[in-house]
């Protein structure tokens, strides 16, 4: 019993957490990615408080105006301020990325946990269904689900989350298979703990690191997917701003007003780079084999 409890205490070791944080702080590219994400997140959260123009207000005297002191990023095809729409559009894009991945994790991790822990026919059924989903290209599946559910931002998030879910099922299953034979899990079984207690108290805490890394990297993919769905008219619906829908309109005015496409494209690029850099940094920081 004493040995078991001392081993169980290693599931979330404070020193390991401190070591991971030190390694993350020492990774400059990860810090750059974190700063990029925090910058856009701060803009999105503070959008209602910033002294910017109404993102829906039109002006027929300011149609497709180039960047100037009055409109720092120019105006669009009906005279709306692009800077204001960029800031408000950050809410839709970041929310779509984060909530989509949350849906994928909440659904995928329990299925992967059950499949890896119990094995047998349960594992076979879940694995075969997961492989069937993985056989479909991610973006094609998201487009099909969004078209079936109907065009809206919430439906786009559900479609992206369901499309990303099989990746988390497979990742969790593989991690559980590697962990469930460890001594502390066997010790928990030997004292008569139930399956649910073992999965939640001894297995899940020891597989969270790769799930966190995968979730961070998947947010970047989800943001691109949301922009793609909005570009196709299946995501955020006008006149509400989102970076993807802004690109959809801007494609018709690339010659007359290239700034309409330049700013949302640059924002998507920077946010995706930020999440990728942070994900790579977390992978190095949370890997116990790295010193």
- CA neighbor of 234 nearest in space, from 144, 164, 165: 144
DSSP class of residue 255 equals T
On whether residue 31 sits in a domain, the answer given is no
Quote the mean pLDDT of the chain.
88
Q: How far apart are CA 203 and CA 123, in angstroms?
A: 17
Whether 64 maps to a domain, the answer reads no
pLDDT digits (tens, 9 = 90+) for 71-122: 899 999 999 999 999 999 999 999 999 999 999 999 999 999 999 999 899 9
Residue 291: the pLDDT is: 55
Per-residue pLDDT, 284: 84
Q: Convert the pLDDT of each residue in 38-70 to its tens digit.
A: 999 999 999 999 888 899 998 888 899 999 988
Half-sphere exposure (Cβ direction) of 214: Cα atoms closer than 13 Å: 20
Domain of residue 162: give its range.
40-57+69-286
Burial of 92 from C-beta contacts in 10 A (0-12 / 13-18 / 19+)? buried
The reply to whether 129 falls in a domain is: yes
- Quote the Cα angle for 237-250-232, to 5°: 45
Q: What's the rounded Cα separation, in Å, for the pair 66 and 77?
A: 11
Asked whether residue 233 is assigned to any structural domain, the reply reads yes
Residue 181's pLDDT is what? 84
Mean pLDDT, range 243-256, rounded to an integer: 90
**What mean pLDDT is predicted for residues 199-219?**
92
Give a yes or no: residue 108 inside a domain. yes
Q: Where are the alpha helices (DSSP H) in the chain?
A: 2-8, 14-26, 28-45, 82-118, 120-134, 138-149, 153-179, 183-190, 195-197, 208-231, 243-250, 259-286
CATH number at residue 165: 1.10.3720.10
Q: With beta carbons less than 8 A apart as the criterion, state whether 269 and 251 touch.
A: no
CA distances from 133 to 106, 154, 162, 215 (A): 17, 21, 10, 18
- On whether residue 268 sits in a domain, the answer given is yes
Banded model confidence at residue 237, pLDDT cuts 50, 70, 90 = confident
pLDDT greater than 80 at residue 195: yes
Q: Is residue 30 part of a domain?
A: no
> DSSP H helical segments within 135-207, as ranges?
138-149, 153-179, 183-190, 195-197
| pLDDT: which is higher, 3 or 169 | 169
For the record, the structure tokens of 282 come out as 């977390």
Per residue in 158-194, pLDDT (tens digit) is: 999 999 999 999 999 999 999 988 888 888 888 888 8
Q: Residue 227: its pLDDT value, please? A: 92
The reply to whether 63 falls in a domain is no
pLDDT at position 288, please?
A: 64
Give me the sign of the Cα torsion angle 181, 182, 185, 186: positive
Mean pLDDT in residue range 264-291? 87
Tell me how many degrees the CA angle 284-7-15 measures, rounded to the nearest 5.
40
Residue 182 CA to residue 64 CA, distance in Å, equals: 63
Q: What is the pLDDT of residues 124-157, one digit of tens each?
A: 999 999 999 999 999 999 999 999 999 999 999 9
What pLDDT does 152 receive?
Answer: 92
Instruction: Compute the distance between CA of residue 15 and CA of residue 201 in angstroms, rounded to an integer.
Output: 19
Give residue for tokens 């993807």: 244
Q: Residue 17: which pLDDT band, with cuts at 50, 70 and 90? A: low
Domains of the chain: total: 1
210-236 residue pLDDT tens: 999 999 999 999 999 999 999 898 988
């Amino acid at each position: 019993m004493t040995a078991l409890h001392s081993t169980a205490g290693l599931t979330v070791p404070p020193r390991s957490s401190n070591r991971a944080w030190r390694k993350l702080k020492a990774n400059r590219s990860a810090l750059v990615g974190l700063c990029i994400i925090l910058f856009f997140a701060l803009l999105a959260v503070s959008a209602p408080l910033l002294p910017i123009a109404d993102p829906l207000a039109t002006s027929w005297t300011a149609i497709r105006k180039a960047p100037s002191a009055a409109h720092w990023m120019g105006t669009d095809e009906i005279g709306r301020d692009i800077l204001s729409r960029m800031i408000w559009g950050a809410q839709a894009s970041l929310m779509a990325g984060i909530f989509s991945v949350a849906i994928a994790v909440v659904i995928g991790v329990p299925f992967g946990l059950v499949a890896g822990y119990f094995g047998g026919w349960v594992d076979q059924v879940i694995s075969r269904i997961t492989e069937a989903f993985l056989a479909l290209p991610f973006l094609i599946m998201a487009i099909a689900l969004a078209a079936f559910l109907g065009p809206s931002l919430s439906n786009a998030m559900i479609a992206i989350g369901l499309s990303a879910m099989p990746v988390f099922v497979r990742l969790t299953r593989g991690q559980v298979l590697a962990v469930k034979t460890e001594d502390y899990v066997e010790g928990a079984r030997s004292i008569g703990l139930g399956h649910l207690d073992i999965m939640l108290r001894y297995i899940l805490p020891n597989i969270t690191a790769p799930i966190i890394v995968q979730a961070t990297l998947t947010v970047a993919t989800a943001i691109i997917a949301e922009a793609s769905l909005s570009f196709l008219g299946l995501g955020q619906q006008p006149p509400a701003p989102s970076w993807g829908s802004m690109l959809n309109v801007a494609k018709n005015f690339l010659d007359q007003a290239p700034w309409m496409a330049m700013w949302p494209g640059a924002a998507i690029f920077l946010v995706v780079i930020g999440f990728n850099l942070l994900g790579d940094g977390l992978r190095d920081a949370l890997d116990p084999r790295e010193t």
